[in-house]
Amino acid sequence: MAEPCPSPSYRCRSGTSVTPRLWRALPNAEKARFLRHLRPYWEVHRHRMAPELWNSLQELIAGGTLRIVAARLTSIEATDGAMRVSTRRRNPVVPEALNVAAVINCTGPESDVRRLHDPLISSLLNSGLAICDAAGLGIRVDDAYRVMTSGGKPSQSLSMTGPLLRGEFWEATAVPELRVHAARLAQRLASELV
C-alpha cells in the first residue's frame, strides 16, 4: 500500500481550482469516457486519508483484525447472525466465500441521480423543475447556481449547492470545494436581497 499523502492541489496562479473549468470544457462523450476508465484512479488519488487514520488502519492489519482483498463482490446472503459474502479475486481470478459479521459499503451513495430512490430528487426530475447532467452525476445549474428546468431555463426559485453539483463542476464533494460553492451561492442570494 502507498503511503498517505495530502490531496493534490489543482490550482492556478490566482489560487482557484482549475478542475471545474476543465470539467465544464469537456464534451459529454469525453466526460463519459473519463467516468468509464479513469474515475476510480481519480477518486483514489484525490481523496486520500489523514495520516492518523492510516496509522490506525495499519495497526488493524498488523493485528490481524483487518484484511484487505482486491476482489469483486458477487453476492451476499444472510445467515444466522452473520452474512456469507462471495467474491471473485482479480489476480488470479479466484472465487472465495467468507462468513462475516458486517459488510460496510465504502463506495458512497448511488452516483447516478436518475436511479436514486429519493422522493425529493425524483419529484424535481419528474416534474421538470430540475434536470440532470448527461452523465446523471447531479442536477444541472447555471453559473449562479440556479437549478435548470426541463425547459432549459434557470429556475427563479430553486438554487443548489452540494455534492449534486458534481455533474457541473466535478469537484463538489470535498469541504474545500463545498465551501467555495456555498460562498458563491450565498453571495448571489445576498446581492438579490439588496
The pTM of the full predicted model, rounded to 2 decimals, is 0.65
Model pLDDT, residue 93: 78
**Confidence check: pLDDT of 158 > 60:** yes
CA distance 77 to 89: 18
pLDDT band at 107 (very low <50, low <70, confident <90, very high): low
Give residue 88's identity as a one-letter amino acid code.
R
Are 164 and 113 a contacting pair, CB within 8 Å? yes
CA distance 18 to 21: 5
**Confidence check: pLDDT of 126 > 60:** yes
Average pLDDT over residues 135-144: 92
Percentage above 90 pLDDT, the chain: 40
- Where helices occur in 26-141 by DSSP H, the ranges are 28-37, 39-46, 51-62, 119-127
Model pLDDT, residue 118: 85
Are 94 and 106 a contacting pair, CB within 8 Å? no
**Confidence check: pLDDT of 73 > 80:** yes
